[in-house]
Amino acid sequence: MSTAPLTGRRALVTGGSRGIGAEIVRRLTADGAAVAFTYSASGTNAEKLVAEVTANGAKVVAIQADAADPSQNASAVDRAVAELGGLDVVVNNAAVAHFDVIGDYPPEQFDRMVAINIGGMFWTTRSAIKHLSEGARIINIGSSNADRVPGPGVSVYAMTKGAVSSFTRGLARELGPSGITVNNVQPGPVDTNMNPDKGDFAESLKQITALGRYGHTGDVAALVSFLAGPESGYITGAHLNVDGGFTV
């Protein structure tokens, strides 16, 4: 019997209680990793996910942390290391979105989106670095909106995801000599509760996507699992679109 590709790997997934994050947790554990994930307010979802994954015999730990708070990000990393016995993979997935034209953009929404989408990634990574060694992986979940903005109201969100892209490039250079890879996965239209594949908005996105349909959370999780594994060791600083041709 072949060994699961992530056996022995220990991963932290931020924002892992629902949507793409939850599917990443499912896939990493299915592929053999022990996983800790953070959540902010979705306690019920977190409990359900833990019950589901542990029923399959996997090791999973839920950690409540506000991704906008640097100290909570640091504490989440420390707890993940303590619970898992170390850390090999960091998946910076926690993010929020608010869409509005620039003249009407609420300042509080701007501050929180920057604090989570950029700050959460930075503070989690900064805290995790001291626990990572050669062969470790950092995987940032960005967005194809960093490369293509299909209409008005998306500029601020796209700005934060552009920062994910730039941070990935710089960090790949910084950590390359230590044998740590850093990559950016950029989902396009993916069917989640927050972005369902039905309705007028979804139809408008399908029309500008090469495959003419939404993707599934599993499409993103499969790529994340590959990047977390042993066969991706020569991929770093990459920006990998999982968008059905949204950006072509």
Q: What are 35's strand-pairing partners?
A: 11, 60
Q: Give residue 2's pLDDT.
A: 66
| Total domain count, the chain | 1
Q: Which structural domain range is residue 190 located in?
A: 10-242
Q: What are 190's strand-pairing partners?
A: 215
Q: Give residue 193's pLDDT.
A: 87
Closest by Cα among 142, 198, 149, 130 to 167? 142
Residue 19, token pair as written in the block: 């949507």
Assign 38 to helix, strand or coil: strand
Residue 26 resides in a domain: yes
Q: Give residue 68's pLDDT.
A: 97
Residue 236 resides in a domain: yes
**What is the value of pTM for the model shown?**
0.97
Q: Which of 39, 157, 214, 234 is catalytic?
A: 157
Q: Give residue 198's pLDDT.
A: 95
Would you call 157 a catalytic residue per the annotation?
Answer: yes
Residue 248 resides in a domain: no
Question: Could you tell me the CATH number of the domain that includes residue 104?
Answer: 3.40.50.720
Residue 118, token pair as written in the block: 């950029």
pLDDT in tens, the chain (248 residues): 568 999 999 999 999 999 999 999 999 999 999 999 999 988 999 999 999 999 989 999 999 999 999 999 999 999 999 999 999 999 999 999 999 999 999 999 999 999 999 999 999 999 999 999 999 999 999 999 999 999 999 999 999 999 999 999 999 999 999 999 999 999 999 999 889 999 999 999 999 999 999 999 999 999 999 999 999 999 999 999 999 999 99
Interior angle at CA 184, CA 36 and CA 182, nearest 5: 75
Residue 69 resides in a domain: yes
